[in-house]
Structures are given as structure tokens and as C-alpha cells.
Homo-oligomer: A and B are copies of this chain.
Amino acid sequence: MADVLKGIPVARSIELTAASRAAALVSSGVQPALAVVRVGDRPDDIAYERGVMKRCSSVGVSVRNMALPGDCAERRLVDILHGLSGDPSVHGALLFRPLPKYMNDKLVRNAIVPQKDVDGVTDVSLCGVFTGLEGGYSPCTAQACIEMLKYYGIDMKGKRAVVVGRSLVVGRPVAMMLLAGDATVTMCHTRTENMPEVCRSADILVVSAGREAMIGRDYLAPGQVVIDVGINVRDDGTLCGDVDYEAAEGIVGAVTPVPGGVGSVTTSVLVSHVVDAAERMSRQIG
């Protein structure tokens, strides 16, 4: 049976460090703070927001919630993000996306100053993850995958990593972070031919395809480490990943469960970014 790589201990470890750093900031007079900007009332966003607030509270990061109507003007949203960017009492800004279709995504997300872009959505953050040079923050879910590997002592160096999915939120950033860790990285997507064969060749398989149980037994091989980023809702309301978990359990070396895997780590990474941003800003001021 495969090892189960649970997210909770990874998250706890990140939070423990973040909490002690947050406490040090508070005792030096700086209250780390995250602004959460939501447009409309999508249930997914509200659920994620609740998770973020809980995590922030346990680490000692304060949250400022800003809920805007679903028909909010682009200009108003941009003004709010500019305001947060200039507000010294806020250290990070989380903006829920996708934005309403009438908004210019590139324009709006880049209204966040890179120093507060704790969710890695600005061009500066994306450039940073591509070049490996300093700038902004890594997208949280992509970094959560890497934190999983690190926590469980899985060496990336020289290993064959295959990433399924090429989004800018997960696929492409995680590919660049695996590359920075000296893995040999293959990027797959909907146009990939012979995907089962490509996936079987992986030592580390990261799946962010957005399709329930897409990765079945013909995609898997003994000894693999499988990181399942997918979160899908079954007809009966239960959650499952992009990997056929029961198949994986019997084949691979280690696999992250859904729920209780990568998803549990993402918000911890976000909160640790806020603490990091607060430290950097307080150093610049101090």
C-alpha cells in the first residue's frame, strides 16, 4: 500500500514557524495583516475565505474582509487594491479570481503591489517564479506541492517530474519550482499524446487537471510519488481529486489524499507569505 502523504502535518509545521514569527512581529509593534478582497458571493470563494480566516487567526495574522458586489466597477476594485497597496497596516492582499468577465484580469491583478502579492498573481510574482530571481511571491498551491515534497523528505534533484496541467495558478509555476529544485520536468496538458506513458515515466507526478479521477491505473507506476492538486465535487457531494485514489493506493509509492492533502497546505503557505511580507516591510521601515 502506498504511503499517504497527509497535508495536516505539513500545514502544522508551516503554521508553527509562521506563528512564532508573527508573535515576534507583534511584540515589536507590528500586527501582520491580510486583506481579502472578494467580488460577488461564489460559494467556493466564501468557503476558501472562511478557511483563510481560521488559519490566519490561529497563526496570529489579522484579516480585513472586503466584499464587493458582483457587479462592482473595475475602477472601484482597482482603487481598492491601490489603496491596500499603499496602506502600511496591510501586509498582504488576496484577490479572488476569476474576476467578472467584464474586467481586465491583467490590469486588476497588477494593481496589487508585488511586495503584498502573497498569492502570487501579479506579473512580477509570475516573472519571479519563471526566472528564479527575487520578486513577489510564488502562487500558494504550487508552493504547497513543493512544501509537501520537502516535508516528507522527497528529493527532487535529478528526478523525473511530470506535471499534468499548465495553468498559471498551478501547472506552470510548479513546473518552474520543480526545475529550480533540479528535477527534470515534463509539462503535459490536454493536447499531450500518450499521456499515460508519459505519466508512468515520472518519479514525481503532480496532477492539476481539474477532472475527477482522470489519472487511473494506466497512468501510474510502482514507486512514484503522486501529488494530487485536484479538488472535484462528486454527485453525492463528497470531494475527490484528479487521481483515482484507490487505484493509486495499490500501485504507487506515496500519494496525497483529497481532501486532506495539498489543499490543507495552501492556506498555510498563504499565511506564511503574509508574515514574510510583514517582516520585510518592518525591516524596510525599521
Supposing A158-B193, A187-B185, A192-B158 touch, asked if A172 and B130 sit within 8 A by C-beta, the answer is yes
Binary per-residue interface labels of chain A (148-165) against chain B in the complex, 1 for a CB within 8 Å, 0 otherwise: 000000000111100000
Copies in the complex: 2
Give A contacts to B, CB under 8 Å.
106, 123-124, 126-127, 130-131, 133, 135, 157-160, 166, 168, 172, 175-176, 179, 182, 184-189, 191-193, 195, 198, 201
How many angstroms between the C-alpha atoms of A191 and B182 in the bound complex?
A: 6
Supposing A158-B191, A158-B192, A185-B187 touch, asked if A130 and B127 sit within 8 A by C-beta, the answer is yes
> Which residue of chain B has the shortest Cβ distance to A159 in the bound complex?
B193
> Which residues of the partner chain B approach A168 to less than 8 Å between Cβ atoms?
131
Q: From residue A28, how far is it (CB to closest CB) to chain B in Å? A: 30
How many angstroms between the C-alpha atoms of A185 and B178 in the bound complex?
A: 14
- Check A189–B193 contact: CB distance below 8 A: no
Of the candidates A126, A130, A158, A182, the one having the most CB atoms from chain B within 10 angstroms of its own CB is A130
- Check A106–B133 contact: CB distance below 8 A: yes
* Beyond known contacts A184-B191, A185-B186: 15 more, CB 8 A cutoff: A123-B124, A123-B127, A123-B135, A124-B127, A126-B127, A130-B176, A157-B191, A160-B193, A160-B198, A179-B189, A182-B191, A184-B189, A184-B192, A185-B187, A186-B187
